[in-house]
Amino acid sequence: MKAGRWMIAVSVFSLIVGQTSAEPAPKPRTEVSGAVYAGLENFNWKEFEGGDELLEEDGPLFLAGGFLEIGPKQGIGIKGLAEVYGGTIDYDGSTWEGVPVSSDTSYSGVKGEGTLGLGVQGKQGLYGKPFVGLGLNFWSRELDTDEEGDQGNLGYDESWSTLYGLAGVAGSLEMNEKAKLFGQIALHLPLYNHVEYDFSNIGGDDRVEVEPDKDFGFLLEAGLVYSSFRIALFYQEMNFGKSDEERVGLETVVWQPESEARIVGLTAGIAF
């Protein structure tokens, strides 16, 4: 009799354990976070031919943007980012004939990125997220412009576009309920570069196209979120190899020299 009761108890216990272990683990909670911000960056652009510097542009550009992240802290999530930027900076270079020129160059552009990341939780409020993705950057470069945006006799327009892959890691450290440190490092791996020139202002063709060679760049960012206030400092490098040569007419050959951009900036905004 007692043996029968023990058998029944063991059977019931085994059934409960079996049902409990068969229950799926709770799914990580999906979170939505992001930020909107504005800022100022120092934009430095240089071009080289045969190792010699042809020109340098340097000055401040204004920017505004935002991003949205959807996903759990631990697990797969997505992030989308969009920015606009622009301004007028100093130009020191020369004409195609080698005559020295000091002028201004106007920039305006838009950038968008989408990434897929895997969140990993560490100890004591530390989080990491390796990610991969794609980015698009479009900008116009109007040479020899004044403060009103009017173009001089030596000015012409360039329209740039670059499609690039992204690979990097982001991280954060929650110091308390209100304060969080964050940072990221990302490699930019160009997939396609394109430049279109408009020389109509100086009596040339209004559409000449080349494709600068691919060279990798990178982005470093670090910042602080306190309550809903967000501030970040960043440094970015973009690099482009010399393009193919495009013949225009019988005597003119156009190409984009080896080019580089070095950007240091500060943004501030609202995190949610």
In the structure, what pLDDT confidence band is assigned to residue 19 with cuts at 50, 70 and 90?
A: very low
Q: Mean pLDDT over all residues of the chain?
A: 88
Record the tokens describing residue 227, joined without a space.
């309550």
What pLDDT is recorded for position 22?
A: 43
Cα-only R_g, the chain: 27
Check residues 197 and 203 and name the one with the higher pLDDT: 197
Q: Does residue 25 carry a pLDDT above 70? A: no
Q: Contact at 8 Å (CB) between 71 and 31?
A: yes
In the structure, what pLDDT confidence band is assigned to residue 152 with cuts at 50, 70 and 90?
A: low
Poorest-pLDDT segment among 39-53, 94-108, 211-225 = 94-108
Chain-centroid distance of CA 260 in Å reads: 16
- Dmax (CA) of the chain: 110
Query: Could you tell me which of 105, 102, 95 has the C-alpha nearest to residue 158?
Result: 105
Alpha-carbon distance of 187 to 169, in angstroms, equals 9
Read off the pLDDT of each residue in 99-103 and give the average, rounded to a whole number: 84
Pairing label, strands 157-174, 126-143: antiparallel
Q: Does residue 31 carry a pLDDT above 80? A: yes
| Residue 2 dihedral angles phi and psi, to the nearest 5° | -65, -40
The model's pLDDT over 164-180, given as tens digits with 9 standing for 90+, comes to 999 999 999 999 999 99
Read off the pLDDT of each residue in 176-191 and give the average, rounded to a whole number: 97
Read off the pLDDT of each residue in 83-91 and give the average, rounded to a whole number: 97
**Residue 169 CB-half CA count within 13 A:** 6
Share of the chain above pLDDT 90, in %: 73
What pLDDT is recorded for position 247?
A: 87
Q: Contact at 8 Å (CB) between 206 and 197?
A: no
Check residues 150 and 221 and name the one with the higher pLDDT: 221
Q: Does residue 54 carry a pLDDT above 70? A: yes
Listed in order, strand segments (DSSP E) in the chain are 31-49, 52-71, 75-94, 100-121, 126-143, 157-174, 179-198, 208-210, 213-226, 229-241, 246-248, 252-254, 258-271
Query: Could you tell me which of 159, 161, 141 has the C-alpha nearest to residue 151?
Result: 141
Q: Does residue 138 carry a pLDDT above 60? A: yes
What pLDDT is recorded for position 148?
A: 61
What pLDDT is recorded for position 97?
A: 65
Number of CB atoms found within 10 A of residue 152's CB = 14
Q: Does residue 149 carry a pLDDT above 70? A: no
The model's pTM: 0.86
Alpha-carbon distance of 118 to 67, in angstroms, equals 17
Read off the pLDDT of each residue in 182-211 and give the average, rounded to a whole number: 93
| Residues sharing a CB contact under 8 Å with residue 18, sequence separation 6 or more, in sequence order | none
Check residues 160 and 122 and name the one with the higher pLDDT: 160
Burial of 27 (0-12, 13-18, 19+ CB in 10 A): exposed
What pLDDT is recorded for position 192?
A: 98
Read off the pLDDT of each residue in 238-242 and give the average, rounded to a whole number: 98
